[in-house]
Amino acid sequence: MRLKKVPTTPFSDQRPGTSGLRKKVAVFQQQHYVENFIQSIFNSVPNRDGSTLVVGGDGRFLNQQVVQTTLKMAAANGFARALVGQWGLLSTPAASCIIRKHGAIGGIVLSASHNPGGPEGDFGIKLNTANGGPAPESITSAIFEETRNITEYRLIDTADLELHQTGIQRIGDMLVEVVDPTADYVSLMRELIDFSAIARMFAGGFRLQFDAMHAVTGPYARAILEGELGAPVGTVINGVPKADFGGHHPDPNPVHARALFDLMHSANAPDFGAASDGDGDRNMIVAPHLFVTPSDSLAILAAHAHRAPGYAAGVVGVARSMPTSRAVDRVAATLGIHAYETPTGWKFFGNLLDAGLITLCGEESAGTSSNHVREKDGLWAVLLWLNILAATGKRAQDIVREHWAKFGRDYYTRHDYEEVDSVAAERLMSHLRDKLVCLPGQRVGELSVAAADDFRYVDPVDASMTEHQGVRITFQEGARVVFRLSGTGTSGATLRVYIERYENDRERLELPPADVLAPVVDAAREIAQIEAFTDRNEPSVIT
Ligand code: VG1
Ligand code: CO
C-alpha cells in the first residue's frame, strides 16, 4: 500500500452540466479520465483533511470500478473516513440523507440518472456538498477550472475493497465503512410518513404497483413497501438493480415506463401506480386511468402535505423550476405562502431550503422533494402520496379531480428534440432571443403573445445571478411555452419545449391534453421555427 502521484494532462470536456459530469461510458474509459475529474473535485474541496466523504452510485456499468478508484483517491487526499453503500450502491436521495446525518463534508454520487446504462450507455459523476445537495454553480465552475489545469492525481495503490459486506475496513489512514444503503433512509421516512396508516391501507387490500425499472430504488422500495408497510410481495417490480437497467431507459415517464402506464389504464389497474429512475430521485405517479403530471403532483402534494406527520406544521413556502407548470403557484396563493421560481436543476433549491424559505419543491421532469434532504426523492414522493390517500381515505383519481375543480387545471406536455445538431440548436435559441423584444402583442395562430423573456435568476439568499436559463413566452389565453437546451444530454443537443395551458372552466377540465395544447404546440413551432432550424417535423419524445 503506497501513495502514488500520477502525472496527467487535462481533458477539455469536463464541464459539469445540470447534474454533474455526464458522458458516454467510452469517454469515462479513457485513461485518467475518471481520476482527473475526481482529483479536480477534491482540489476544489477545502478543509477535506480529516473529514468524511460519502460514496455510492446507482449500480450502472462502471459503478463498482469508479467507487473503488474514488475510495483509493480519497484516502490519498486526506479524508479520514468514507461511508460507502454496500455493493457500491446509494440512491441519490439516500446519499443526501447520509451526508446530512453523518456530518460528511460531501459525497460523490455515480449516476447518469435516467439515461441508459451498460457499456454502450452513459455514466456520470456528481458532487454533493455538506448540506447534502448538488454542488452549486460556484463550485462546479471551480471544478471545471481545476480540470483544465490538472497536472497530477493522487491515489493509494492497493487491492480493491470488499464492498459486499457491511463493516469497517481501512485504506492507509482512512476508515472505509461499508453501510446498508437503505438503513438511514428508511429511518428518515419513518419519521416523516405515517407508516401505520399506510400499513392499515395495505392490510385492507389496497393495491400498488411500483416499477423500480431495474435501477437503484429496488432495494429501497422493497424494504419500505413490502417490508415496513406490508404490501404484498410483487408490489415492487423490476426490483433488482442491473448494470444496464435491463436494456431500458430507467426514465419514469409514460414512454419509458410504458408497461406500468398501460397497466394503470387497463381493466385490471391497481389503486396506484408509481415508478422511479436510475438513481432514485425521480418519480412517476399514475392513478387508475389517470396520469398525474409531475407539475400537478407537486401542487397536490403541497396542498395536502400537512396530512403527513413530517409536515403537520404546514408548508412555509414552495419552489418550482421555471419550466414546471404554474399549478403549485395557485396552491401557494391559497395558502398565503411564497412560490419561488428557479432555473432547471436541483442545485438551485439548496439555498432556499437551507434558509428555511421553502418546505417543498419540484420540477416538471418528475422530481419532487422537501426539506428532509437536499435532492429530489422519488420514493419519498410516492410515500407522501400514499400517506395522503391513507389519511383522506380517498382514491388517487378523486384527489386529482378535486384539485382541478378547486384550482383549475394546468394542461402540460413536454416535447424533446433529441440529438439535434448542436450548432443548429444554438442558432435556434439565438434566433429566439433576438426576436424576444418584438414578440409581445403579436398574434400567432389562435394566440396572442403577452410577454417574452430569457429567464434570469437572482438567488434571494446569496444574490448570485444565473442568466440565459430558457426563453419563456406567455400568451394572453393562459398558455405558456418555454424553450431551453438540455444540460444532461451526451450526444448532440436536446431541445426541450415545455407547453402548458390553464383552464378553469368546469366543462373543460377533462379534455384530452393533446387537443387542449395543440394551438400552443403550433405557436411554439412557428415562433421558434423548429423545423427550419433542426430539420425535424416531430419531437423525438413527448411526455
Ligand atoms: C434534466 C431535467 C432537470 C433535472 C435534470 C437532472 O435536465 O430537465 O429538471 O434536474 O435532468 O435530473 P436537462 O438540463 O437535461 O433538462 V436527474 O434525475 O437526470 O439527475
Ligand atoms: Co435521477
Task: Show me where the domains of the chain are located.
Answer: 2-181, 185-407, 409-542
Distance in angstroms (rounded) separating the CA atoms of residues 309 and 54: 28
* CA neighbor of 68 nearest in space, from 163, 169, 173, 177: 163
DSSP 216: T
CB of 487 closer than 6 angstroms to any ligand 1 atom: yes
Number of the ligand 1 atom closest to the C-alpha atom of 126: 20
* CA neighbor of 201 nearest in space, from 232, 174, 172: 232
CATH number of 185-407: 3.40.120.10
Q: Choose one of 365, 415, 482 to mutate for the ligand 1 pocket test, by most ligand atoms within 8 angstroms of C-beta.
A: 365
Grid cell, residue 133, equals 445537495
Domain 2-181 has CATH 3.40.120.10: yes
Phi, psi of 245 (to 5 degrees): 50, 35
Residue carrying C-alpha cell 377533462: 510
Distance in angstroms (rounded) separating the CA atoms of residues 257 and 296: 19
Is 113 in the active site?
Answer: yes
Task: Give the pLDDT of the chain (543 residues) as one tens digit per residue.
Answer: 799 999 999 999 999 988 899 999 999 999 999 999 999 999 999 889 999 999 999 999 999 999 999 999 999 999 999 999 999 999 999 999 999 999 999 999 999 999 999 999 999 999 999 999 999 889 999 999 999 999 999 999 999 999 999 999 999 999 999 999 999 999 999 999 999 999 999 999 999 999 999 999 999 999 999 999 999 999 999 999 999 999 989 999 999 999 999 999 999 999 999 999 999 999 999 999 999 999 999 999 999 999 999 999 999 999 999 999 999 999 999 999 999 999 999 999 999 999 999 999 999 999 999 999 999 999 999 999 999 999 999 999 999 999 999 999 999 999 999 999 999 999 999 999 999 999 999 999 999 999 999 999 999 999 999 999 999 999 999 999 999 999 887 778 999 999 999 999 999 999 999 999 999 999 999 999 999 999 999 999 999
Distance 464 CA to ligand 1 centre (A): 21
Burial 346-372 (b: 16+ CB within 10 A, else e): bbbbbbbbeeebbbbbbbbbbbbbbbb
Distance in angstroms (rounded) separating the CA atoms of residues 340 and 269: 36
- Helix, strand, coil tally for the chain in percent (to 5): 35, 25, 35
Phi, psi of 18 (to 5 degrees): -55, -35
Question: How would CATH label the architecture of 409-542?
Answer: 2-Layer Sandwich (3.30)
* Whole-number Cα distances in Å, 171 to 356, 416, 444: 39, 45, 64
Cα Rg of the chain, angstroms: 23
The helix-helix angle for 63-76 and 33-43 (nearest 10°) equals 40
Grid cell, residue 321, equals 423550476
Task: Give the β-pairing of 52-57 and 106-110.
Answer: parallel
Beta strand ranges found along 396-503 (DSSP E): 409-420, 443-444, 447-454, 457-458, 465-466, 471-475, 479-485, 493-503
Q: If DSSP codes are grouped into helix, strand and coil, which group holds residue 3?
A: strand
CB of 22 closer than 6 angstroms to any ligand 1 atom: no
The residue count for the chain: 543
Distance 104 CA to ligand 2 centre (A): 22
Q: Whose CA is nearest to atom 5 of ligand 1?
A: 345
The helix or strand, by DSSP H or E, that contains position 75, with its residue range, turns out to be helix 63-76
In angstroms, how far is the first alpha carbon of the chain from the final one? 51
Cβ–Cβ under 8 Å, residues 395 and 345? no
Q: How many CA atoms lie within 13 A of 417 on its CB side?
A: 24
Do 185-407 and 409-542 share a fold? no
Distance 93 CA to ligand 1 centre (A): 15
DSSP 102: T
The helix-helix angle for 137-149 and 33-43 (nearest 10°) equals 130
Grid cell, residue 136, equals 452549486
Active-site residue, from 113, 276, 297, 365: 113
Q: If DSSP codes are grouped into helix, strand and coil, which group holds residue 332?
A: helix
Distance 280 CA to ligand 2 centre (A): 6
ipTM, two decimals, is 0.97
Cβ within 8 Å of residue 33, ≥6 positions away = 11, 27
Phi, psi of 114 (to 5 degrees): -85, 0
CB of 114 closer than 6 angstroms to any ligand 1 atom: yes
Distance in angstroms (rounded) separating the CA atoms of residues 234 and 221: 11
Phi, psi of 44 (to 5 degrees): -95, 5
* Whole-number Cα distances in Å, 159 to 55, 68, 72, 216, 325: 18, 9, 9, 26, 50
CB of 367 closer than 6 angstroms to any ligand 1 atom: yes
Count the Cβ atoms, other than its own, within 10 Å of residue 506.
10
